[in-house]
Amino acid sequence: MEKNKTLEVYSRFEICPTRAKGVYLYDDHHIKYLDLYGGHGVISIGHGHPHYIHTIKTQLQKISYYSNSVQMPLQELLAQKLTKLSGYDDYRLFLVNSGAEANENALKLASFHTGRTKVISFTRGFHGRTAGALSVTDSPSIFAPINQHHFPVIRLPLNQPAPLIAALKQGDIAAVIIEGIQGIGGLDVPSDSFLKLLSKETKAHGTLLIIDEIQSGYGRSGHFFAHQKSGIQPDIISIAKGMGNGFPIGGILTHPSIKSHLGMLGTTFGGNHLACAAAISVLEVIETEDLLARVYSISQKIKFALSSIKGIKKMKGDGLMLGLEFDFPIKDLRRQLIHSHQIITGASSNPNLLRILPPLTIKLEEIQPFFKALEEILSHH
């Protein structure tokens, strides 16, 4: 097949998955790979979950799409299930198609609500590649000239109270946006005390707190949302990745004090029937399989096993969103894992950090080959 018809923007491994089940991918040569990355943390309930397939198939046969100009009981059902399971009963849901779009709408809503124009974000934060989401992202190499002066952004160091307090005092700050756990930036976690301070200070200044749970949410940390370990409630929570287990869907949950009016936000595809069915089935599986408790317990076991492997300098992250830091670049290690051991892992902007984001359903015996492979590779290092 001709291979130069798609725009070349991705560096890709030389494997071609054609089938997937549970925590495994199978390529076009029938080789089985252990998926410890879930395609950037998207696979939450495992590949090809029977309930997920059944729900989507059944919905497809009824109606797959209509625009937001008609009644959408599936959106209401999804919102009810999500707010109940996440403990945000009185919040409201607005649905979109991706993470960047979720943040784009979160930022816009914060600006509508406050009438303000500036945003605070954090060093090594990543929020997406569309104009607004990119403006609050700390990654100059993916900025086009057109993105340089989108709106004023104050970028602050994570977990440092003094610069935050000083920046909020400048005034005109619509929102502070922060990841529940940093993803591509290298798995740094906002401390409990910093999140509590953020919550208190944003309230005091009439600024909205947006927590980007696009990667860290949907049970990945062992809580429904990573920030819930700190007992705070942000004004807006953005969600995507694990929400649809691969079906494109994202959204924002908004505090009841944030008012909307007709026409304020909108999207053609967001919240369509098929996407809602996928997202509903994911929540049903998270609930019936008690995945939050399972993530917590397996994460403890994984961390324990990893702690005895010599050569891992530091473990970062939480739950099933883990970063393993080495004192050398992990590029070759990742290649060896995939090509010699058939184990897929992720990278981050820290060249020495391996990123692990397995499906939340993973069992200890399924991840065991990863420990063995690491030990073997590291013994030759």
Contact positions vs ligand PLP (CB under 6 A): 40, 98-100, 103, 126-128, 179, 183-184, 212, 214-215, 240
CB of 12 to ligand PLP, least distance (A): 16
Nearest CB to ligand PLP, comparing residues 46 and 346: 346
Nearest CB to ligand PLP, comparing residues 97 and 281: 97
What does the DSSP 8-state code read for residue 207? P
With CB atoms as reference, the residue minimizing the distance to ligand PLP is: 99
Query: How many whole angstroms separate alpha carbon 116 and alpha carbon 172?
Result: 5
CB of 250 to ligand PLP, least distance (A): 6
Query: How many whole angstroms separate alpha carbon 244 and alpha carbon 45?
Result: 9
CB of 278 to ligand PLP, least distance (A): 15
Q: Report residue 253 as tokens.
A: 């949950």
Nearest CB to ligand PLP, comparing residues 102 and 367: 102
CB of 351 to ligand PLP, least distance (A): 18
Helix (H) or strand (E) holding 283: helix 273-288
SS3 string of 343-377? EECECCCCCCEEEECCCCCCCHHHHHHHHHHHHHH
Give the side-chain half-sphere CA count within 13 A for 319: 34
CB of 37 to ligand PLP, least distance (A): 12
Query: How many whole angstroms separate alpha carbon 306 and alpha carbon 378?
Result: 12
User: Is residue 211 within 8 Å of residue 237, measured between CB atoms?
Assistant: yes
CB of 68 to ligand PLP, least distance (A): 20
Nearest CB to ligand PLP, comparing residues 35 and 366: 35
CB of 99 to ligand PLP, least distance (A): 2
Nearest CB to ligand PLP, comparing residues 42 and 374: 42
Query: How many whole angstroms separate alpha carbon 15 and alpha carbon 163?
Result: 45
Three-class SS of residue 219? coil
Nearest CB to ligand PLP, comparing residues 77 and 347: 347
Nearest CB to ligand PLP, comparing residues 215 and 245: 215
Query: How many whole angstroms separate alpha carbon 235 and alpha carbon 223?
Result: 18
In terms of C-beta distances under 8 Å and separation of at least 24 residues, what long-range contacts does 159-162 make, across chains too? 159/188, 159/190, 159/191, 159/194, 160/194, 161/194, 161/197
CB of 198 to ligand PLP, least distance (A): 16
Select from 372, 371, 359, 379 the least CA-distant residue to 324: 371
CB of 236 to ligand PLP, least distance (A): 13
Nearest CB to ligand PLP, comparing residues 39 and 206: 39
Nearest CB to ligand PLP, comparing residues 154 and 249: 249
165 alpha carbon, distance to own chain's centre: 27
User: Is residue 45 within 8 Å of residue 359, measured between CB atoms?
Assistant: yes
Give the side-chain half-sphere CA count within 13 A for 85: 27
